[in-house]
């Protein structure tokens, strides 16, 4: 079976992740949606690596992984800080970005 199918799978996962970010108000769940999108991109990278027979795609995926790990650390720290200040992690609560 053609490895391109994995790219299609990655697209579907990406769309699901994006929908989660848009629809869920729980910050942690929305954040998991972001993680899913990152991983979908990783899957696509690995699939491309396989298709082209080049290992560099995997390296890219590895880098994305590291960056994602760093992002998780900071993101979760922010969520905790917000929770301390407001006793909630709802994304609708902090509406100070209002114009």
Partner 1 sequence: MLDLTWLLIAVPLASSAFLLLGGKRLDPWGHWVGVAASGTAFLVGLVALIQMLGLDSHDRAHAVHLFSWIPGGELNLDAGLLVDPLSMTFVMLVTFVGTLIHLYSVAYMEHDPSRRRFFAYLNLFVAAMLLLVLADSYLLLFVGWEGVGLASYLLIGFWNHKPEYATAANKAFVVNRIGDMGLIIAMGLMFTYFGALDFDSVFAAAEGASTAQLTAIGLALLVAACGKSAQFPLQSWLGDAMAGPTPVSALIHAATMVTAGVYLIVRSAPIYEGAPAAQTTVAAIGAFTLILGALIGMAKDDIKKALAASTMSQIGYMVLAAGLGPIGYAFAIFHLVTHGFFKAGMFLGAGSVMHGMNDQVDMRRFGALRTAMVTTWVTFGLGWLAILGVPPFSGFWSKDKIIEAAFVGEGAQPWILGGAALIGAGLTAFYMSRLFFMTFHGKARWTDDQHPHESPALMTVPMIILAVGSAFLGLFLAMGDRFTMWLEPVTGHAEHHEPVLPVAVIMIATLALVALGVWAAWRKYGVADVPELAPAASLATIAARNDMFQDSVNRGVFERPGTHLTRTLVYADAALVDSAVDKTAGGWARTGESVRKTQNGQVRSYALTMLVGLVIVILVVVQGGL
Partner 2 sequence: MVNPVLFWIIAAITVIPALSLLFARKAVHVAMSIVLVMVGLATAYVTLGAPFLGMVQIVVYTGAVMMLFLFVLMLVGVDQREDLKETIVGQRWIGLFTAAGLGAFLVSIVGRVTIAVSDAPVEGEPDVVAVLLFDKYVLVIEVLGFLLITAAVGALVLTHTPRLRPRRTQLEVQRDRVRVGADPVNKPMPGVYARHNALDVPALDPEGQPIDHSVSRVLKIRNQTQDGAEFRAQLEDPSRKEGDR
Interface positions with partner 1 (CB under 8 A): 18, 21-23, 25, 30, 91-92, 94-99
The long-range contacts involving 76-83, CB below 8 angstroms and separated by at least 24 positions, are 76/31, 79/27, 79/28, 79/31, 82/27
Question: Min. distance of Cβ 58 from partner 2 in angstroms?
Answer: 4
**Beta-carbon count within 10 A of 3 CB:** 13
Do 2 and 22 contact (CB within 8 A), yes or no? no
Binds 8, which of partner 1, partner 2, none (CB < 5 to 8 A, cut-off by type)? partner 2
Question: Min. distance of Cβ 62 from partner 1 in angstroms?
Answer: 25
Nearer to partner 1, 3 or 94 (CB): 94
């Amino acid at each position: 079976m053609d490895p391109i199918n994995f790219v299609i799978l990655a697209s579907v996962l990406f769309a699901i992740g994006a929908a989660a970010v848009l629809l869920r108000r729980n910050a942690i769940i929305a954040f998991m949606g972001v993680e899913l999108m990152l991983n979908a991109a990783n899957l696509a990278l690995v699939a491309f690596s396989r298709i082209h027979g080049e290992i560099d795609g995997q390296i890219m995926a590895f880098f994305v992984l590291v960056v994602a790990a760093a992002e998780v650390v900071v993101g979760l720290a922010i969520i905790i800080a917000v929770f301390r200040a407001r006793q909630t992690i709802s994304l609708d609560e902090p509406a100070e970005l209002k114009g």
